């Protein structure tokens, strides 16, 4: 591992949610801060990864040897000392995309694969119970496993938000956003895939990619097990939650308005469906658990966490490797084949721009030598959520039922009950916002959720106030 020093790290003061603090969070599209976040060196004097320092101290060397012996069998995800200098594939970001790619590419023992993640390991965070327990997922938004991005102030939208800035949650932990998301399993609309294919993306039609969806899937819904849309042997568990008394009312209500009951995962058409979830034995089942954990025993796959990729190293217009910062120290690692950026909607464009690939004005502002002047980070599409509440006269969830479940340690011992569920999220209605539109597929989704009481951490988080 080549240690190239950390003199290039810039600290930056960023504004978050109206307050101001120094940390490693960036404002979305605040190009001034896209250069580098502020990394605090959390290593002690015996920094394991700083080999030239270790030579100076035999005490340090000994303790490193003991640690290496202790940690080697666990294939620690933490220390770059265990990594090779060169890999065939370097994958940046261990979210939904990066984990699957790393697992699939390392199935070939001749491929040396490295997975690099800026966040820490999900097993070593105080948020671990919130990551695992489905009902607690809202607590992860704006926690320390969320990058904490906000939009720039909006001129034409966001009227309900303070300063009209949208929160843009993104997971910063192994597993990426799939470690903080809502765990609803829903494939995209067949119409969009088919549109991509007809626009030149060969092999991306819904019919063609269905085999990959099926190959990934382990469905635990008995009546769907034999369906041509599902499969039972893949790494990604797809399940269905037990129905609440409200589910049949949701479905009946939608049916009475003319929406037929459909399967959410046949390519999405107009209709109402019972949701599928990525929950296994009452716990979040993300691609980290499904794809990466079983693959970490492979000798050709390494994963490093707490490693922020600052840029792709490019020479002769080819990606030669990456530079990343681990605990305040900068490292580089080379590739013999490819660098694959799966750092998410905001992370991947930011890395490209820091590497010299992006719009001329942004590269100039950041004083990054240009390599390729192309549009990067444009045409963002997102799906804002609006909560609309309807209060029922009689509760369908009895408060004492929750107290009983807690008292009996039901979740602890059986992994069942309200904690194992998605806070009552049970059905989805997909529809066309404008039935007269020439678009022949749904563009609006209504999620039916039954909840107890008025408190919703998500709402507290965005602090809705009229502006």
- Give the nearer residue to ligand FAD in terms of CB position, either 54 or 102: 102
Query: Do residues 213 and 186 touch, judged by C-beta distance below 8 A?
Result: no
* 358 contacts ligand FAD (rule: CB under 6 A): no
Binding string, residues 158-177; x marks residues near ligand FAD by CB under 6 A: -----------xxxx---xx
- Give the nearer residue to ligand FAD in terms of CB position, either 130 or 410: 130
* 267 contacts ligand FAD (rule: CB under 6 A): no
The position carrying tokens 């085999």 is: 211
Cα separation, 443 vs 430, whole angstroms: 7
* 116 contacts ligand FAD (rule: CB under 6 A): yes
* 93 contacts ligand FAD (rule: CB under 6 A): yes
- 9, 141, 292, 368: which one binds ligand FAD (CB under 6 A): 141
Q: Across-strand partners of 219?
A: 238
**Closest residue by beta carbon to ligand FAD:** 95
**Hey, how many other C-beta atoms are within 10 angstroms of the C-beta on 393?**
4
* 347 contacts ligand FAD (rule: CB under 6 A): yes
DSSP single-letter state for residue 153? P
185 phi and psi angles, rounded to 5 deg: -95, 110
The dihedral built from the CA positions of residue 269, 275, 279 and 283, taken in this order, carries a sign that is positive
Residue 257's nearest CA partner among 267, 270, 269, 244 is: 270
Stretch that binds ligand FAD, among 55-63, 183-191, 231-239, 408-416 (CB under 6 A): 183-191
Which residues, 379 to 408, sit near ligand FAD by CB under 6 A? none
- 142, 143, 342, 405: which one binds ligand FAD (CB under 6 A): 342
* 344 contacts ligand FAD (rule: CB under 6 A): yes
- CB of 187 vs ligand FAD, minimal distance in Å: 9
- CB of 63 vs ligand FAD, minimal distance in Å: 28
* 351 contacts ligand FAD (rule: CB under 6 A): yes
Which residues, 291 to 330, sit near ligand FAD by CB under 6 A? 308-309
Query: Do residues 234 and 215 touch, judged by C-beta distance below 8 A?
Result: yes
- CB of 458 vs ligand FAD, minimal distance in Å: 8
Stretch that binds ligand FAD, among 115-123, 229-237, 364-372, 409-417 (CB under 6 A): 115-123
- CB of 309 vs ligand FAD, minimal distance in Å: 4
* 219 contacts ligand FAD (rule: CB under 6 A): no
- 143, 181, 263, 405: which one binds ligand FAD (CB under 6 A): 181
* 94 contacts ligand FAD (rule: CB under 6 A): yes
**Hey, how many other C-beta atoms are within 10 angstroms of the C-beta on 114?**
27
- CB of 241 vs ligand FAD, minimal distance in Å: 13
How many residues lie near ligand FAD (CB under 6 A)?
31
Provide the b/e sequence for 244-274 (b: ≥16 CB within 10 Å).
bebbeebbeebeeeebeebbbbbbbbbbbbb
- CB of 385 vs ligand FAD, minimal distance in Å: 9
- Give the nearer residue to ligand FAD in terms of CB position, either 33 or 94: 94
Cα separation, 467 vs 113, whole angstroms: 50
- 33, 50, 76, 96: which one binds ligand FAD (CB under 6 A): 96
- Give the nearer residue to ligand FAD in terms of CB position, either 55 or 215: 215
**Hey, how many other C-beta atoms are within 10 angstroms of the C-beta on 133?**
17
Residues for the chain: how many in total?
Answer: 467
- 83, 92, 238, 419: which one binds ligand FAD (CB under 6 A): 92
* 216 contacts ligand FAD (rule: CB under 6 A): no
Cα separation, 172 vs 95, whole angstroms: 9
Query: Do residues 279 and 270 touch, judged by C-beta distance below 8 A?
Result: no
Cα separation, 53 vs 41, whole angstroms: 15
For every residue of 59-119, DSSP letters joined together read: HHHHHHHHHHHHHGGGT-SS-GGGS-SEEEEEEE--SHHHHHHHHHHTTSTT--EEEE-SS
Query: Do residues 138 and 130 touch, judged by C-beta distance below 8 A?
Result: no
Cα separation, 121 vs 101, whole angstroms: 18
* 77 contacts ligand FAD (rule: CB under 6 A): no
- Give the nearer residue to ligand FAD in terms of CB position, either 300 or 310: 310
Query: Do residues 166 and 45 touch, judged by C-beta distance below 8 A?
Result: no
- CB of 270 vs ligand FAD, minimal distance in Å: 20
Contact footprint for ligand FAD (CB under 6 A): 92-98, 116-119, 141, 169-172, 176-178, 181-184, 186, 308-309, 342-344, 347, 351
């Amino acid at each position: 591992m080549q240690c190239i020093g950390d003199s290039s790290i810039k600290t930056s003061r960023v504004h978050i949610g109206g307050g101001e603090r120094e940390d490693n969070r960036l404002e979305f599209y605040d190009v001034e801060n896209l250069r580098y976040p502020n990394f605090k060196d959390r290593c002690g004097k015996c920094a394991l990864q700083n080999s030239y320092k270790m030579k100076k101290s035999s005490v340090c060397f000994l303790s490193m040897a003991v640690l290496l012996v202790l940690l080697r069998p666990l294939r620690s995800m933490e220390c770059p000392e265990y990594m090779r200098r060169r890999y065939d594939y370097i994958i940046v970001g261990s979210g939904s995309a990066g984990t699957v790619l790393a697992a699939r590419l390392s199935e070939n023992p001749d491929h040396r694969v490295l997975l690099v993640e800026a966040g820490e390991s999900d097993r070593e965070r105080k948020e671990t119970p919130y990551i695992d327990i489905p009902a607690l997922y809202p607590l992860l938004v704006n926690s320390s496993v969320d990058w904490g991005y906000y939009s720039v102030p909006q001129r034409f939208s966001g009227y309900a938000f303070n300063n009209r800035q949208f929160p843009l949650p993104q997971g910063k932990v192994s597993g990426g956003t799939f470690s903080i998301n809502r765990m609803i399993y829903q494939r995209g609309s067949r119409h969009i895939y088919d549109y991509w294919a007809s626009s030149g993306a060969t092999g991306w039609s819904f019919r063609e990619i269905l085999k990959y969806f099926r190959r990934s899937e382990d469905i635990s819904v008995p009546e769907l097990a034999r369906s041509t849309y599902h499969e039972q042997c893949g790494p990604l568990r797809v399940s269905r939650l037990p129905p609440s008394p409200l589910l049949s009312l949701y479905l009946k209500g939608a049916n009475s308005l003319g929406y037929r009951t459909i399967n959410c995962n046949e390519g999405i058409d107009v209709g109402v469906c019972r949701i599928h979830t990525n929950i296994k034995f009452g716990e979040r089942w993300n691609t980290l658990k499904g794809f990466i954990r079983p693959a970490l025993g492979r000798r050709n796959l390494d994963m490093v966490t707490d490693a922020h990729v600052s840029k792709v190293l490019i020479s002769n217009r080819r990606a030669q490797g990456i530079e990343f910062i681990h605990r305040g120290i900068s490292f580089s690692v080379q590739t013999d084949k490819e660098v694959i950026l799966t750092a998410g909607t905001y992370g991947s464009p930011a890395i490209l721009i820091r590497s010299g690939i992006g719009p001329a004005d942004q590269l100039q502002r950041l004083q990054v030598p240009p390599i390729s002047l192309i549009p990067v980070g444009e045409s963002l599409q997102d799906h804002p959520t609006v909560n609309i509440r309807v209060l029922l006269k009689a509760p369908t969830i009895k408060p004492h039922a929750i107290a009983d479940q807690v008292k009996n340690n039901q979740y602890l011992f059986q992994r069942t009950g309200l904690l194992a569920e998605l806070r009552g999220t049970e059905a989805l209605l997909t529809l066309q916002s404008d039935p007269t539109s020439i678009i022949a597929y749904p563009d609006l989704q209504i999620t039916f959720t039954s909840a107890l009481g008025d408190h919703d951490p998500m709402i507290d988080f965005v602090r809705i106030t009229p502006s």
